[in-house]
A and B are shown apart, each in its own frame.
Chain A
């Protein structure tokens, strides 16, 4: 073994940079490796919000960040899922709830029971068998008073600026050095970064550079072989607008994603406002026209803080080149349709930890990281793409195009096997699990043509009883859950009592 890595420099801004620095400090920092941050100017605007999956709680737990701080400092609202409306013609909206599947009985998931039930005339929609969806619809937060485990969890909507500031303070108090700067130049030899030159002339050297600069890709973008494969062919939205609207009262327990003629509009409730996001195709509508349509699309007045930006969706061919590792949106970008933005940062960081280089001289770990992150990107893009592919907004060129275009083989197989049998093939490095895909497919109107033959071994009366029991269980659990407003109000109290949240 040659020399160990001694110094890691994170280059970036906002939550991704501080998440990376906090995680590195917590793990390899404790092993004596020096972790520094070059803090680039923020890319956030006052209207920006992060919408995060429940897995973020695991990240906080790991680095030791108290969950109550999200509610007291970041205007956090707990959400049990995302409601998709207007994607499928006259079909009612559905909620993708953040369920944690219970272990299947004898290899049979509940979905298979539901499919047969449906064929036999069961009228209850699939989402009513999801604990998180039912909680979300009721405006309740999936927690139990005693902290007992539930097969559902909640994610967070967070004020992006406030969350980044919280992470920054937390990370700095953990001993990470940082310097606010911009990059004047990057010295590269072959496929290695020798130094990053800052605007004040300082030359920053390190053994490993972590690029957390988001879509700017300030470091990885300069590395050989790390160009971006465009996904525009499949994912047509190329512009994004973010704005604020008034707070919703009472606070809902879900975010809302509504399709419209040229893309979609998302409403993300926060404690003091509602973040409004629109993603659309610039070939279909102009920024100005969209802004004019927005109050009607969001069904609420829009504040004056709207800001528009390019939305590029691509996957970098290599996410780790030489001694430069890209995390989150420096590695691949996607639209905020399914709330995976912070999760991909988390996922990349976890992989970097698992694959943290054994020595400073050579990085064979990079190849495996590349493969993992590429698969992750494809799987997430497929999930996002499925919304578009399965739309039933007929006679609108944008949506007809999305529905008729061929999709990648990885997604087509999922659609095919699900249509045939109600099962979803999962690949390595999936963020969303079988139940998430099932909810998405069924919600958008894809109905399996047959079910697992083992279901027929369950006598009809027992089948009906199991279905009924599941509904009753869910109803009982949801009734006992607090409303969003009560939950937030109770956070401080629980913190004092020493019970953890989430």
Chain B
């Protein structure tokens, strides 16, 4: 690596600035130089106000101070996602960021719980999740690090203003050496033989050349899709939602969880931040008109709207390759999965963190490219299956979309997981990809799939002791949760944003 690698990032939304900050922070400028082109005229989609706990690894790796970042982005904590009306109308469960049962027992705990239930144990499985109990109670403290403690059994993520997060990262990235160019791309200059991208010509006439181009241009996928012609794999037969309408409203109770409420043609999110509440309705135009959906969203708001609702169009799927020639797509330019499990920023992060160790030299090594694509495909497919699970496992009969989803064929990789859980409560594990068994467990049970059987390994303890044991464990969690601070109070102490009103973006946020 004698001559530094010239990396050009096209697009400055969340994806672009996350990529720029990571590259400039992790790799010295003697090895790679990073330029970012963005236009203030082009709005950003600003994916994900809600995040997944993995974002903390990203922030740690690039040296971000948590409290400072949270103040700058009006962030609040998140212990999980509450699903309302999903399995059936009136149902309610939390997908927690933490195990059910004691740490290190997740292979057997739910089997024991299933047995105890047959023996008369009351309550539901979330009572055994520290994160779920704390979330329900609107409490938050940083997790204990000693794994023997009951309050070490969870992790957390953030609700934040993704636009402000990008602004925050931009500040870091520019201080650390990223060169930002304001402008719009007019032409993409390619090598006539290989098709590799040589440079981008801007409307200003300036030409920016590079060795590696990172396409963060959003849905348009200007480089990977439009220029290199990489095809799109459509997953809308499993994930039929194709629109989101979003609107911010005044601050509401600061619950430390995202709420997802199933609606007549999709679902609605509620994301509490320090200064406002994010709301949106993800829906399918096969089942509802845009206007009707927007009206429905506005009617459902619990606090006063702060702007007009904004509409966003999309399709579930991903590019057949996320890295082709000398171009890597990160973020929406590479694929889209609806924000049901807050995975948009995670997908950006994982692409960056896979790219960094596989970063090519000035000529592209196809072996590195193929490995990157393999890893990204695994991530997409595993998240896809997990999202489909929410739609597939519903017993609502009151709306057409739910009847369609309950009846639809799903990928074989998902069918077999559902069937095995139904029969014996076994959850398949995998090495690469998001969602540990505890996540699958919470959705299976939460959506009403109660297994027919459970492992005989759960039969070793006498029944009475098992039930007593379970009840004691639940009480231990409740006792500890009661000692915790209220989430709002913790934020006041830890990372309260300045009282000045943060700029209200007009962009739609997912």
- Asked if residues B420 and A426 are in contact (CB atoms below 8 Å), the reply is no
CA of A31 to CA of B95, assembled, Å: 31
Chain A stretch 390-435: residues in CB contact (< 8 A) with chain B: 413, 416-417, 419-421, 423, 425-428, 430
Query: A6: shortest Cβ distance to chain B, in Å?
Result: 10
CA of A423 to CA of B26, assembled, Å: 18
- Asked if residues A454 and B460 are in contact (CB atoms below 8 Å), the reply is no
Interface presence of A368 (CB below 8 A) = yes
Which of B357, B454, B457 contacts A454, CB < 8 Å?
B357
* Neighbouring A residues of B61 by C-beta, 8 Å: 106-107
What sequence of 0s and 1s flags, for each residue 259-277 of chain B, a beta carbon within 8 Å of any chain A beta carbon? 0000000000000000000
Interface presence of B299 (CB below 8 A) = no
- Asked if residues A456 and B424 are in contact (CB atoms below 8 Å), the reply is no
Interface presence of B356 (CB below 8 A) = yes
- Asked if residues B457 and A367 are in contact (CB atoms below 8 Å), the reply is no
Interface presence of B146 (CB below 8 A) = no
Query: B214: shortest Cβ distance to chain A, in Å?
Result: 15
- Asked if residues A354 and B426 are in contact (CB atoms below 8 Å), the reply is yes
* Neighbouring B residues of A430 by C-beta, 8 Å: 431
- Asked if residues B455 and A358 are in contact (CB atoms below 8 Å), the reply is yes
Given A354-B107, A354-B426, A453-B1, A423-B358 contact (CB < 8 Å)? yes
Q: At the interface with chain A, which of B69-77, B191-199, B223-231, B366-374?
A: B366-374
CA of A4 to CA of B26, assembled, Å: 55
Which of B374, B420, B429 contacts A365, CB < 8 Å?
B420
* Neighbouring B residues of A367 by C-beta, 8 Å: 416, 420
Interface presence of B150 (CB below 8 A) = no
Which of B368, B420, B457 contacts A31, CB < 8 Å?
B457
Which of A359, A420, A427 contacts B368, CB < 8 Å?
A420
- Asked if residues B26 and A5 are in contact (CB atoms below 8 Å), the reply is no
Interface of A: prevailing SS: loop
* Neighbouring B residues of A450 by C-beta, 8 Å: 1, 361, 365
Interface presence of A204 (CB below 8 A) = no
Query: A210: shortest Cβ distance to chain B, in Å?
Result: 15
CA of A356 to CA of B420, assembled, Å: 12
Given A31-B460, A456-B30, A421-B358 contact (CB < 8 Å)? yes
Interface presence of A65 (CB below 8 A) = no
Chain B stretch 292-349: residues in CB contact (< 8 A) with chain A: none
What sequence of 0s and 1s flags, for each residue 327-357 of chain A, a beta carbon within 8 Å of any chain B beta carbon? 0000000000000000000000000011111
Chain A stretch 353-382: residues in CB contact (< 8 A) with chain B: 353-359, 362, 364-365, 367-368
- Report, as a range, how many residues of chain A touch the other chain: 35 or more
- Asked if residues B32 and A428 are in contact (CB atoms below 8 Å), the reply is no
Interface presence of B67 (CB below 8 A) = no
A449, closest chain B residue (CB): B365
- Asked if residues A420 and B456 are in contact (CB atoms below 8 Å), the reply is no
* Neighbouring A residues of B1 by C-beta, 8 Å: 450, 453, 456
Chain B stretch 98-127: residues in CB contact (< 8 A) with chain A: 107
* Neighbouring B residues of A28 by C-beta, 8 Å: 456-457
- Asked if residues A427 and B357 are in contact (CB atoms below 8 Å), the reply is no
Given A358-B423, A358-B452, A365-B420, A417-B367 contact (CB < 8 Å)? yes
Interface presence of A477 (CB below 8 A) = no
* Neighbouring A residues of B371 by C-beta, 8 Å: 413, 416-417, 423, 425
Query: A428: shortest Cβ distance to chain B, in Å?
Result: 5
What sequence of 0s and 1s flags, for each residue 162-187 of chain B, a beta carbon within 8 Å of any chain A beta carbon? 00000000000000000000000000
Interface presence of A42 (CB below 8 A) = no
B424, closest chain A residue (CB): A358
CA of A456 to CA of B4, assembled, Å: 11
* Neighbouring A residues of B430 by C-beta, 8 Å: 428
Interface presence of B425 (CB below 8 A) = yes
- Asked if residues A428 and B367 are in contact (CB atoms below 8 Å), the reply is no
- Asked if residues B431 and A427 are in contact (CB atoms below 8 Å), the reply is yes
Residue of A1, A362, A453, A454 with highest tally of chain B CB at under 10 A: A453
CA of A416 to CA of B367, assembled, Å: 6
Which of A357, A413, A452 contacts B357, CB < 8 Å?
A452
- Asked if residues B426 and A355 are in contact (CB atoms below 8 Å), the reply is yes
Query: A206: shortest Cβ distance to chain B, in Å?
Result: 14
Chain A stretch 73-129: residues in CB contact (< 8 A) with chain B: 106-107
Chain A stretch 22-53: residues in CB contact (< 8 A) with chain B: 27-28, 30-33
Interface presence of B459 (CB below 8 A) = yes
CA of A365 to CA of B454, assembled, Å: 12
Interface presence of A145 (CB below 8 A) = no
B361, closest chain A residue (CB): A450
Given A359-B453, A413-B371, A417-B368, A368-B459 contact (CB < 8 Å)? no
- Report, as a range, how many residues of chain B touch the other chain: 35 or more
Given A33-B456, A421-B357, A368-B426 contact (CB < 8 Å)? yes
Given A417-B367, A454-B26, A356-B456 contact (CB < 8 Å)? yes
CA of A96 to CA of B4, assembled, Å: 36
Chain B stretch 416-467: residues in CB contact (< 8 A) with chain A: 416, 419-420, 423-426, 428-431, 451-460
CA of A134 to CA of B465, assembled, Å: 50
Interface presence of A457 (CB below 8 A) = yes
- Asked if residues B456 and A5 are in contact (CB atoms below 8 Å), the reply is yes
Interface presence of B31 (CB below 8 A) = yes
Given A364-B420, A425-B371, A453-B453 contact (CB < 8 Å)? no
Query: B30: shortest Cβ distance to chain A, in Å?
Result: 7
- Asked if residues B32 and A453 are in contact (CB atoms below 8 Å), the reply is yes
Which of B30, B425, B428 contacts A358, CB < 8 Å?
B425
Query: A129: shortest Cβ distance to chain B, in Å?
Result: 20
B457, closest chain A residue (CB): A27
* Neighbouring A residues of B416 by C-beta, 8 Å: 367-368
* Neighbouring A residues of B45 by C-beta, 8 Å: none
- Asked if residues B457 and A453 are in contact (CB atoms below 8 Å), the reply is no
CA of A358 to CA of B110, assembled, Å: 13
Interface presence of B28 (CB below 8 A) = yes
CA of A24 to CA of B270, assembled, Å: 49
CA of A31 to CA of B460, assembled, Å: 4
- Asked if residues A358 and B368 are in contact (CB atoms below 8 Å), the reply is no
Query: B440: shortest Cβ distance to chain A, in Å?
Result: 14
Interface presence of B27 (CB below 8 A) = yes
CA of A256 to CA of B370, assembled, Å: 37
CA of A32 to CA of B357, assembled, Å: 51
- Asked if residues A456 and B28 are in contact (CB atoms below 8 Å), the reply is yes
Interface presence of B359 (CB below 8 A) = yes
- Asked if residues A425 and B426 are in contact (CB atoms below 8 Å), the reply is no
CA of A452 to CA of B26, assembled, Å: 11
B428, closest chain A residue (CB): A368
* Neighbouring A residues of B374 by C-beta, 8 Å: 413, 425
CA of A427 to CA of B429, assembled, Å: 12
A422, closest chain B residue (CB): B357
CA of A32 to CA of B463, assembled, Å: 13
- Asked if residues B454 and A358 are in contact (CB atoms below 8 Å), the reply is yes
- Asked if residues A356 and B457 are in contact (CB atoms below 8 Å), the reply is yes
Add 13 more A-B contacts to A421-B357, A423-B357, A456-B28 (CB < 8 A): A1-B453, A4-B456, A30-B460, A31-B457, A31-B458, A359-B452, A368-B426, A420-B368, A430-B431, A450-B1, A450-B361, A453-B357, A457-B26
The 6 closest A-B pairs by CB, nearest first: A358-B453, A358-B424, A31-B459, A420-B367, A416-B367, A30-B460
14 CB-based A-B contacts, threshold 8 Å: A1-B453, A5-B456, A31-B458, A33-B456, A356-B456, A356-B457, A358-B452, A364-B423, A365-B424, A368-B420, A419-B367, A423-B357, A425-B375, A453-B359
Interface residues of A (CB under 8 A from B): 1, 4-5, 27-28, 30-33, 106-107, 353-359, 362, 364-365, 367-368, 413, 416-417, 419-421, 423, 425-428, 430, 450, 452-454, 456-457
